Amino acid sequence: MIEAKNTGQRRRLLRPARRQRRGRMYFESRVLPWLLLLPALVVIFGLILYPVVRTLWLSFTDAGLASLVSGQMDFVGLRNYADIFSDPELRMTFVRTALFGFACVAGTMALGLSAALLLNQKFRGRVVLGVLVLLPWAVPAVAASIVWKWMFDDQYGIINWALSSVGLSMFKGFPWFNDWLPAFVAVGIVVVWQSFPFVALMLLAGFQAIPQEVLEAAKSDGAGAFQRLRHVTLPMLKPLVLVLIVISTIWDFKIFDQIYVMTGGGPAHSTEVISVATWREAFTQLDFGMGSALAILLFVVLALVTIIYIRLIREEELG
Amino acid sequence: MRRSFAASLGLYAGAVALGAFSVFPFLWMVITSVKGSQEIFTRTPVFVPHSPTLGRYAQVLGGEFARALLNSVIVATGTTVLGVSVAVLAGYSLARFRLPLRRYLLMLILSTQMFPLVALIIPLFIVMRTLGLLNTYPGLILAYLSFTVPLAAWMMRGFFQSIPPELEDAAMVDGATRMGAFLRVVLPVAGPGVAATSIYAFIVAWNEFLIALTFISDEQMRTLPVALQSFIGRESTDWGAIMAASVIFTLPVIAFFLLVHKRLTRGMAAGALKG
Amino acid sequence: MGGAGLAGMGLLGAAACGGGAGAGSSGGKPSGSIKVWIMQPGSNELEGLIRGFAKDFQKKNQGTKIELQFVPWTSAHDQFVTAVGGGQVPDLAEMGTTWTPEFASLGALAEQKEKLSGKYVESLIESGRVNGKVYGLPWYGGARALIYRKDVLDKLGLKAPQSWDDIVKVGETVKKKTRLYPFGAIGNDEHQYLPMVWQAGGEIAVKSGGKWRSKMDSPQAVKAFGFYADLFRRHKFSPAGALNWDSLDLRKSFVTGDMAMMLGGGWDVSGILAEAPKLKGKIGTALTPKGPAGNRDAFAGGSHLVVFEGSQNKTLANAFARFMLAPERVSEYADKLGFLPGTIAGIKKSSSRNDPLFHPFTDQFVNMSRTYPPVPQWGGFEGDELFVGAMQQIMGSKQTAKQALAEVTTKMNQAFKKKTQ
């Protein structure tokens, strides 16, 4: 308060500089924000805009590889989209992508939250664990997929060895990649392994931003550790949690490397998700119209999911 | 604060489990990379190699891998420095100013992340060819910027929002310009956010494969993810070498973590004190 | 005018090429620089060999520059598609033989006008022929034959199987008397079982009246796929996980001493011996067992060297290709890869001809091998895992051979009907 009064006096003293200050205020409120934003907008949209528009256009054509070069292609309207919806296999791909994507998001958030809670405690070795937990994130996706695929090897994999050594004899030679369910479990573990460190790191940063007084107050009101988490910490972090869910959803719906390396979408397309189907249609079948349509539909699905999330965030902000 | 014995036990059990899950696959990579080739595939896993060898590391680094390592460092560092700078400015703008259509702008920025990269790769290639940026560091960095800045800006916006606006208001009242207040007062407090965001940008650029594969056709310019594939032949795969290469691939990121981690925790502590 | 020089150069290049790309030396002196894509051979040593070829060539032809790039196999097809679609292709490239018709029919490759017959391995010439024109120079190739544990079979008093029935008989004995898996019946490698369609007397696809038609629903094809799946499903000659094994997984099981018989190439034998020296002297090789039609044909696969139509310097590209195809170079590279040279002169020089362990592969390749139908759609079939998916459905008892192959036939015929894009 005292400070404000002082500055008020000072402002009066500085009256001759007022016009200049006006100009600065206009600059700072109208021009500066855009100036700050400009470089980002240029790098984001300068490069991406043409590819996105072109993909949208291609999705309404029957473009093959030769037509990408010659530019000769037929406009087919919504036929690619109609084909996707009438093909039971491709319809299944969307269901699969959503189920697998959400399962990975749930796993990532659960493990990320547990890790962050653990690292928020005081115990010996906490700093070391804090670094170790980040390790999976540092391993490149392709290398991680190779080493995990190897650990899941039916004959010589360490996972089957360990499980059957502790008495689970059904895992002796268990074929993880013969069917979609165990194959997705294996791939899902790798995806969660690689993405939980990011979530844990961000949540930990969030935890530490919560003022200690709030937690102390809850504690003196008799709230236990779990209650404090449920009624104080998580509600305060809800915006951050929702942002993390949005980001994870976008990543996990687009998973490509891990599936490509570990299952290739097989056996018989049973682990194929949309991004892999996009690649297959475009790069192996050379049907760029269809590939583009799949990409656009994935975009639409993700946009819808994100809008729903953002609605949730906004309600939270209002409430 | 005192903990019950059971709680301590649970805590340490959880810590050990989490640590093992995080580290084991990497550890397995390291062990495999020093094994003799007869010990790699066995019914009972070999945890302690009979006669460990560092030969594969010499073999890997003796080839083109060392050059790829350098390329990757340049590209990832460039992307991180430029990307975080750009994202910090954009994040601040999005957090503090009432821009018209801000919600839509935020959504639009995020929406660029919603396309599968495989669908965009050919038109991106054409853009790069037209700009004459194929086979160059700036070309790769530019491409990575367009894929890291959206989320990085989102992340920075979140961090800036958590910093009370009174901080820079006070500085401005004291006569600082908006930019001055931002640079001298807000940015130092946002240290942990900058650190976290730079980890994100670094890793994206470090690990990216598809763009690096298609935009680079000069042997001398190729980056690590592509070079990693040089141990996979048509009908043969050198598993030991891949593991050694993967370890080399991961180490710089760990070094980067350690570098940034101090700043991350110290910044957090400082932020907590001020808050 | 600024453009004149460029246009002039283009003309010159075209003229030199049309004048007979035969030997680079006859079509004017090669100069300038070219971009060359070679498939990642999988080791520094082999990469070094190719780099050496380029260096020698540049030394011999002053003023030329060979810019080499090694392309990872797993993403090679993607990279070719991007290069063609993005309008920036290499001048010369190594290409898997089953992809050559695909890119040739897109107009991406330059025709090889030289008469190749008699100089190159016939089956590999065939696999690069589209509508009577040849687009690929056979570089190296190979065919799978039988690799088996001689020590194990000898001990049981058994001989290497000569026919499909023998595989079952020998396999059952091995299963009963040893702890080894008898025969590698695996799902994720179509080269193991597609040739069985020929061995059963069938065809994969035939051309009549200028149109290709799938024959995968023929009784012979159904019999072949059913027989192979039964080795896995009924006889349990390989472990449950083999449904999704690829050729590398199969070799791994042989290396660890858990597998008694497998179909593989010379590259597998050298790989096995390198990884498991203790198996030295314990391995036998034999021709692919013959099917009910008395046929032993295996798949002749390999690589072409192709010159791209978009190349500005076809003279140099052709000259460098011919340089690498010289007998001593082609045989050295193929030997080290475990493949056979694509030229007749190269094969005569190849060391594997005299080694009894490797001789069956030469015999198989030269005398008893065929290529898949050289259709532009083949790359698509591979990418779609059309045959692999069908086999896995049969092995997993999700479909009968008849059902699965009826679907395969429909899909193939649909693809043949579609205009090639």
Concatenate the DSSP letters of all residues of A236-265 into one string: HHHHHHHHHHHHHHHHHHT--HHHHHHTTT
pLDDT of residue C352: 67
Q: Residue B107 has what pLDDT?
A: 85
Instruction: Indicate whether B271 pLDDT > 60.
Output: no
In Å, how far are A248, C66, C268, C311, C352 from C337, measured between CA atoms? 43, 22, 10, 28, 12
Chain A residues near residue B122 by CB distance under 8 angstroms: 68, 288
Please answer yes or no on whether B149 and A240 come within 8 Å at the CB atom.
no
Q: Is the pLDDT of residue C415 over 50?
A: yes
Residue C27's pLDDT is what?
52
The token duo for B267 is: 């910044």
Give the Å distances, CA to CA, from A205 to A130, A172, A195, B77, B138: 12, 42, 16, 24, 33
Considering the domain architecture, whether residues C156 and C283 belong to the same structural domain is answered as yes
Instruction: Tell me the pLDDT tens digit for each residue of C258-288.
Output: 999 999 999 999 889 988 889 999 999 999 9
A48-318 topology per CATH: MetI-like fold (1.10.3720)
pLDDT attached to residue C6: 32
Domain boundaries, chain A: 48-318
pLDDT greater than 80 at residue C11: no
Name chain B contacts of C257, Cβ cutoff 8 Å: none
pLDDT of residue B44: 84
Kindly indicate the confidence band of residue A15, based on its pLDDT and cuts at 50, 70 and 90. Answer: low
Does any domain span residue C1? no
User: Which member of C81, C258, C388 has the closest CB to residue A286?
Assistant: C81
Check CB contact under 8 Å for A269 and C389. Answer: yes
Tell me how many domains chain C contains: 2
Query: Per-residue pLDDT averaged across C276-302, rounded?
Result: 94
Q: How sure is the predictor about C306, in pLDDT bands with cuts at 50, 70 and 90?
A: very high
Amino acid symbol at B199: I
In chain C, the residue whose alpha carbon lies closest to the alpha carbon of B231 is C42
The band of C322, judged by pLDDT with boundaries at 50, 70 and 90, is very high
pLDDT at C420 over 60: no
C160 and C293 housed in the same domain: yes
In this predicted structure, what is the pLDDT of residue A316?
A: 58
Residue B69 has pLDDT above 60, yes or no: yes
Query: Residue A317: its pLDDT value, please?
Result: 57
Residue B37 has pLDDT above 90, yes or no: no
In this predicted structure, what is the pLDDT of residue C43? 79
User: Is the pLDDT at C10 greater than 60, yes or no?
Assistant: no
Does residue C209 surpass a pLDDT of 60? yes
Q: Does B81 touch chain A (CB under 8 A)?
A: no
Pick from A268-272, B181-185, C310-314, C327-331: least confident: B181-185
Contact flag B218-C78 (C-beta cutoff 8 Å): no
Residues C248 and C388 in one domain: yes
Percent of chain B beyond pLDDT 70?
95
Length of chain C measured in residues: 421
What is the per-residue DSSP string for C85-96?
A: HTT---SEEEEE
Give the C-alpha distances (Å, rounded to integers) separating C78 from A69, A179, B136, C40, C74. 16, 27, 21, 14, 9
Asked if B239 has any chain C CB less than 8 Å from its own CB, the reply is no
Domain annotation covers residue C4: no
Question: How many angstroms separate the CA atoms of C171 and C159, rounded?
Answer: 11
Verify that C249 and C388 share a domain, yes or no.
yes
Contact C288, C195 (CB under 8 A): yes
pLDDT at C60: 94
**Closest to B75 (Cα-Cα) out of B232, B254, B209:** B209
Q: Tell me: the pLDDT tens digits for B139-152?
A: 999 999 999 999 99
CA distance C377 to C383: 10
Residue ranges of B 173-212 with Cβ closer than 8 A to chain A = 173-174, 177-179, 192-193, 196, 199-200, 203, 206-207, 209
Same structural domain, C173 and C231: yes
Provide the 10 A C-beta neighbour count for residue A24. Answer: 14
For B83-131, the pLDDT digits (tens) are: 999 999 999 999 888 887 877 888 888 888 898 888 888 888 888 888 9
Quote the pLDDT of residue A212: 76
Q: Do B232 and C86 touch (CB under 8 A)?
A: no
Instruction: Indicate the helix (H) or strand (E) that contains C137.
Output: strand C137-143
Half-sphere exposure of B210 (CA within 13 A, CB side): 21
Lowest-pLDDT range of A277-281, A288-292, B159-163: B159-163
C268 and C383 housed in the same domain: yes
| CA–CA dist C259, C254 (Å, integer) | 5
pLDDT of residue B55: 87
- Taking the CA of residue A265 and the nearest CA in chain B, the distance in Å comes to 15
C244 touches chain A (CB under 8 A): yes
| Contact by Cβ (8 Å): B189, B162 | no
Same domain membership, residue C116 and residue C23: yes
C187: contact with A, CB 8 A cutoff: yes
- Among residues C44, C53, C26, C36, the alpha carbon closest in space to that of C328 is found at C53
Residue C19: pLDDT band (50, 70, 90) is very low
Q: Could you give all domains of chain B from N- to C-terminal order, each with its CATH number?
A: 1-53 (no CATH), 54-274 (1.10.3720.10)
The residue-averaged pLDDT of B167-176 equals 83
Q: What is the pLDDT of residue C216?
A: 97
Per-residue model confidence (pLDDT) at position C353? 66
Alpha-carbon gap, residue A205 to A183, rounded angstroms = 34
In CATH, what number is assigned to the domain containing residue C102? 3.40.190.10
- Look at B262 and A48; give whichever has higher pLDDT: A48
Q: Is the pLDDT of residue A12 over 60?
A: no
Residue of C nearest to B41 (CA): C256
Per residue in B7-32, pLDDT (tens digit) is: 888 889 999 999 999 999 999 999 99
The whole-angstrom separation of Cα C389 and Cα C396 is 10
Confidence check: pLDDT of C117 > 80: yes
| Residues B25, A158: C-beta atoms closer than 8 Å | no
Is residue C5 included in any domain, yes or no? no
Identify whether C412 is part of a domain. yes
- How many angstroms separate the CA of residue B211 from the nearest CA in chain A? 13
DSSP for C302-313, written as a single string: EEEEEEBTT-S-
Q: Are residues C403 and C365 in the same domain?
A: no
Q: Spell out which residues of chain C touch residue B63, defining contact as CB-CB under 8 Å.
A: 44, 47
For residue range B227-253, list pLDDT tens digits in order. Answer: 888 788 777 788 888 899 999 999 988
Find the helix packing angle between A288-318 and A79-86, rounded to 10°. 80
Please check whether residue C39 lies inside any domain of the structure: yes
C385 and C313 share a domain? no
Q: What are the chain A neighbours of B75 within 8 Å (beta carbons)?
A: none
Least trusted range by pLDDT, from A214-223, A271-280, C215-224: A214-223
Tell me if chain C has a CB within 8 Å of the CB of B62.
yes
Report whether pLDDT(C404) > 90. Answer: yes
Provide the domain limits for residue C94.
Answer: 10-143+300-370
Q: ipTM of this model?
A: 0.86
Q: Tell how strand C92-96 and strand C32-39 pair up.
A: parallel
To the nearest whole number, what is the mean pLDDT of chain B?
A: 85
Q: What's the rounded mean pLDDT across residues A298-317?
A: 82
Say how many C-beta atoms besides its own lie within 10 A of residue B146's C-beta: 23
The pLDDT value given to residue B48: 87
* Nearest C-alpha in C relative to B43: C256
pLDDT confidence tier of residue C340, bands split at 50, 70 and 90:
very high
